[in-house]
Amino acid sequence: MAYIVVATQNEHKVDEYRELLKDQGVELRSLKEYPNFPEVEENGKTFAENAALKAVAASKYCDVPAFADDSGLEVEALDGRPGIYSARYAPTSAERIEKLLGELEGCENRRARFVCVIAIAINGEVIETFEGEVKGVITAIPRGEGGFGYDPVFQPDGYDQTFGEMAPELKNSISHRANAVKKAVEFIEDEMSVLDSDF
């Protein structure tokens, strides 16, 4: 079976990718199998640049095909912040949510989108990048214990629940990550036999 490393230190992302790729006939390896993989400095200016940095580093270090995502929340009233700085906006998820709700206090425009850019790399070269998004609003207060990060304050358009309240299967069918994966899978099915070769 073909295999690929998902280059993330975020266990929640690993869980979501396991679910998203379960029917794809690909064996997903996590960085747990490469405990000495060095931290990658995310000094890119875009989601795509940062995703590429992580995927390239892992494909070199692990010597197998790798992919990574860089993702985040863009809030309209904050001119797209926190964006690529979503993980660095505050030290913990709870503090990030508190800071976000503080910045949006009294603000009528609650529009936001989650963005996910996946980069696939082989032998230290980026093969392609894929962007997915999901649009919605930032709620007044956090709701739900599920998911991770900003999920309790993000309510996708067309739904009454936040990502934090949703069953994981539902989040995984409509999320920014799901939409980026769909594009990546289509690309691999159409263009690439390279992942089937023996690495």
Residues found near ligand ITT in the complex (CB under 6 A)? 8-10, 13, 42, 69-73, 86-87, 114, 147-151, 163, 175, 177
> If you write DSSP's letter for every residue of 125-163 in order, what string do you get?
EEEEEEEEEEEEEE-SS---S-SSTTGGGEEETT-SS-T
Beta carbon of residue 22, minimum distance to ligand ITT (angstroms, whole number): 18
70 belongs to the catalytic site: yes
Closer Cβ to ligand ITT, 2 or 118, answer by number: 118
59 vs 198, beta carbon nearer ligand ITT: 59
Which letter does DSSP use for residue 169 in this model? H
Q: Which residue has the tokens 């999901």?
A: 134
State the minimum distance, in angstroms, from the CB of residue 169 to ligand ITT.
Answer: 14
Residue nearest to ligand ITT (CB): 149
What's the token pair of residue 146?
Answer: 């599920």
Cα separation, 142 vs 129, in Å, equals 32
Reading across the β-sheet that carries 111-122, which strands appear in turn? 26-30, 2-6, 66-75, 111-122, 125-138, 154-156
Using the minimum distance from each CB to ligand ITT, give the nearer residue, 2 or 48. Answer: 48
Report in angstroms how near the CB of residue 102 gets to ligand ITT at its nearest: 16
Q: How far is CA 157 from CA 4, 19, 111, 138, in A?
A: 33, 23, 10, 11
Q: Give residue 5's identity as a one-letter amino acid code.
A: V
Nearer to ligand ITT, 122 or 150 (CB): 150
Catalytic residue of the set 15, 70, 151, 190: 70
Rounded to a whole number of angstroms, the minimum distance from the CB of residue 127 to ligand ITT is: 18
Q: What does the alpha-carbon distance between residue 179 and residue 188 come to, in Å, rounded to a whole number?
A: 15
List the catalytic residues: 70
